[in-house]
């Protein structure tokens, strides 16, 4: 099973109000397409290809505040969270519970502009990402397919991705590349040894 990763982005998230100006819904984007992230762990940038979410839109997804499982705002299976794809990326629309805690800690700060970021937790499919090095030496990861979408979250700090998960993903890819390189070296040595034997 692939590692669970989280990405916190400076995507728009806002509280929509009713006719009396009271915030009643939370709408935003959990992810955007074809836009590079900030440098992750100082090692690589990341982008999401259109179509990457196609296999996970019917997953049982939660809307959480700051990825806190104790602070549930909505859920797809209950109809209180709707996910969709638009030209920008993964859009979410949350019908949060009408509680004092949600009003005070989430809706009011959203309405004031104190909370402006979104995040999502996910797993990448085994063949769902591509790594490349650009001419200037920048390493770029493009996610082409997710295997699981776990949650979408309005977040207090949108600037910091989950470094641990990113490090594990990068390390796994580096280990894979090292393994491929070592196999190529071993195969070359075996061919050279074979030629030596038949020419002796």
43/197 Cα distance (integer angstroms): 45
pLDDT reported for residue 23: 64
Q: Is residue 174 part of a domain?
A: no
Whether 47 contacts 37, CB under 8 Å: yes
Counts for the chain of helices (H) and strands (E), in that order: 3, 12
Q: Is residue 106 part of a domain?
A: yes
Q: Is residue 178 part of a domain?
A: no
pLDDT reported for residue 165: 45
Q: Is residue 68 part of a domain?
A: yes
Q: Is residue 30 part of a domain?
A: yes
Q: How many other CB atoms are there within 10 angstroms of residue 41's CB atom?
A: 11
| pLDDT tens column, 102-114 | 999 999 999 898 9
Could you tell me the residue range of the domain that residue 69 belongs to? 5-162
Q: What is the pLDDT along the chain (200 residues), one digit of tens a residue?
A: 567 777 766 667 877 777 776 768 899 898 899 988 888 777 888 999 999 999 999 999 999 999 999 999 999 999 999 999 999 999 999 999 999 999 999 999 998 989 888 889 999 999 999 999 899 988 999 999 999 999 999 998 765 454 344 444 555 656 666 666 677 667 777 777 777 777 76
38/166 Cα distance (integer angstroms): 13
Q: Is residue 200 part of a domain?
A: no
83/100 Cα distance (integer angstroms): 25
Q: Is residue 190 part of a domain?
A: no
Specify the number of domains making up the chain.
1
């Amino acid at each position: 099973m692939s590692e669970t990763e989280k990405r916190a982005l400076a995507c728009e998230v806002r509280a929509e109000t009713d006719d009396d100006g009271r915030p009643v819904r939370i709408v935003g984007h959990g992810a955007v397409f074809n836009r590079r992230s900030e440098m992750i762990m100082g090692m690589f940038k990341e982008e999401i290809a259109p179509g990457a979410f196609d296999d996970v839109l019917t997953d049982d997804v939660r809307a959480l505040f700051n990825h806190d499982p104790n602070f549930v705002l909505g859920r797809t299976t209950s109809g209180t969270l709707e996910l969709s794809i638009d030209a920008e990326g993964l859009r979410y629309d949350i019908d949060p519970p009408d509680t004092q805690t949600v009003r005070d800690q989430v809706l009011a700060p959203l309405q004031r502009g104190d909370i402006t970021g979104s995040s999502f937790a996910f797993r990448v499919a085994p063949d769902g990402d591509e790594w490349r090095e650009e001419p200037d030496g920048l390493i770029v990861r493009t996610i082409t397919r997710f295997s699981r979408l776990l949650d979408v979250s309005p977040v207090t700090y949108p600037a910091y991705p989950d470094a641990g998960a990113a490090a594990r993903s990068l390390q796994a890819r580096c280990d894979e590349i090292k393994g491929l390189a070592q196999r190529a070296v071993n195969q070359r040595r075996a061919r050279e040894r074979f030629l030596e034997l038949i020419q002796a």
